[in-house]
Structure 1
């Protein structure tokens, strides 16, 4: 819009000089129509060339990665200490917050005790196998003795060497011994099955107890929150006395990372017709009035939310009159590729030079961008 107004102004001055100042031509209705027709077409062509060969936007922003600091605690837990102050730079691994550990340390101690008990029970299961095997040997010996006695008295009774009642007693004793042997065999099998209940070679009860210990230790560790990487917390609102956990699902702070910031500028879709990665870019940031930062196009994010239909039970409602979504262009700035000088959310204007349309297109757009940069000294008018 600025460049269009400037062009109209220059053309109006040109017409004034021709018809009124130097009076090279006499102004009349015919010349008025011709002047308007020429001015309109010149302006139209200039605007078209600028839009496509030197696209421009005032919607550029520095984007910084953020990490939501959300305590992962299952019970309402008191925040006891805050180690970070407002806007304080921190390194990866430094302490940020400390929560009360009393409940979680008690749960850990209980889980550790259960683990020791499970390990002892696993040893007892091995001893139960030995005892069951000894009982089986005893039952088998009794059965063998009873069989010998039955055979002996079976030979003696017909010859009158023993009474029938004695043979009947040993026959009953043999049946009882066989039952005891079968029971002992079942007890051995039972003891072996109990001992063989394992997960990856570890007794199942021991594995379950170890999982409880690991879970309890995890929650003890979660009572201390450390910096996930280098960065800072911009708005430090958490204070000792804050209770988290239980039903709380929101984060208590936003951690702004130092690493991997990027600069995005959004353009109308048709303006990106000739834009490609590697083309030169200039950026005018509002926080640096009067300065121009050079860069290059890194990538075009060819997609918007309007290109996505989320799975749901609702029939999509297509709003054809809804304004088109813009495409974002990621830009690398030459002076500071890591964007260390620029805070997240820094806003500015961006011009991309496709080299099409001639040098005059680039020159006009550069004038446009520099006007934006210098006018930032006085706009907005909030002195």
Structure 2
């Protein structure tokens, strides 16, 4: 709008100079119609060229990655200490919050005791194998002895060298010994199966107990929250005495990361017809009136919320002539790629120079951008 008003003002000044100041032409109805018609087309062409060859927006913001600080505790737990203040800069690994850990340390101690018991049971299983093997050897020896006795008395009884009752006794003992061998083999197999119950080469009971120890240790560690990376705490509302865990799913603070910020500007979809990644950009940030920052187009986000239909039980409703969704353009600034000087949400205007339409189009847009940034010295009027 600003550049259009400037063009109209320049054209009006030109008409005033021609018809009134120097009176090169005499103004009449015909010249009035011609002047209006030419001015309208000049303005129309300039606006079209500017819109498509130097897309412009005042809807640009510095975007920074945010992390929601949310405790991951399964039981209601009291917040004991807060080590960070509102809007405080922190480094990765700095301690932020400390929660009561008595319950979780007790659970860890119990899990460690269960692990020690499971490890002992695993050793006992190996001993059970040896015991079952020894019992099987004894049963096999008894079977061998009883079998030899039965064979001996089977030869003696028909010749009168021994009584039938003695043969019957040893036959019964042989049957009992064979049963003991079968039982010993089953017990040995059972002991081996119990010892062979493993997960990834570790006894199953030991692995399960170790998993409980790891889980208990995880929750002990979660009672202390550390800064995930360099950044700043925003909206720090937590106070000692706050109870978290259990059914609480909300965050207690917002963490704004220093790394990987970017400038994001939204444009009308049709204005991005000739825009490609790598094209030069100028940005005017409201927090730095009078300054112009240069950069390049990183990427175009080809999509808006209007292109998504969320699964639900209702038929989608389409409103005729609803405002079109704008497409976002991600911009890389040259002078400070990390955007260290720019807080999250810093607002500004951006212009993309596609190189089309001639240099004069870019000149007009550059004038427009500089007018915007210099006007920021006095706008808004809230002195």
TM-score normalised over the length of structure 1? 0.95
Q: Secondary structure at the match of 1:278?
A: coil
1:136 aligns with 2:120: no
CA displacement at 1:249 relative to structure 2? 1.4
1:358 match: 358
2:382 match: 382
1:307 match: 307
2:113 match: 113
Gapped runs of 5+ residues in structure 2? Answer: none
1:243 match: 243
Q: Aligned pair count?
A: 383
1:255 aligns with 2:255: yes
Q: Secondary structure at the match of 1:6?
A: helix
Deviates more, 1:301-310 or 1:183-192: 301-310
CA displacement at 1:312 relative to structure 2? 5.4
1:97 aligns with 2:97: yes
Q: Distance in 2 between matches of 1:174 and 1:334?
A: 96
CA displacement at 1:73 relative to structure 2? 1.1
2:342 match: 342
Matches within 5 A, 1:1-383: 1-310=1-310, 315-319=315-319, 321-383=321-383
Deviates more, 1:208-217 or 1:320-329: 320-329
TM-score normalised over the length of structure 2? 0.95
CA displacement at 1:19 relative to structure 2? 3.2
Q: Secondary structure at the match of 2:43?
A: helix
Deviates more, 1:55-64 or 1:26-35: 26-35
Q: Distance in 1 between matches of 2:255 and 2:3?
A: 41
CA displacement at 1:39 relative to structure 2? 1.1
Q: Distance in 1 between matches of 2:140 and 2:276?
A: 90
Q: Distance in 1 between matches of 2:217 and 2:2?
A: 63
Deviates more, 1:310-319 or 1:320-329: 310-319
Deviates more, 1:337-346 or 1:356-365: 356-365
CA offset digits 1:298-337 (Å, max 9, x no partner)? 2222333333445556554444522222222222222212
When the two chains are superposed, the root-mean-square deviation of aligned CA atoms in Å is 1.8
Gapped runs of 5+ residues in structure 1? Answer: none
Q: Distance in 1 between matches of 2:234 and 2:109?
A: 38
Q: Distance in 2 between matches of 1:179 and 1:22?
A: 132
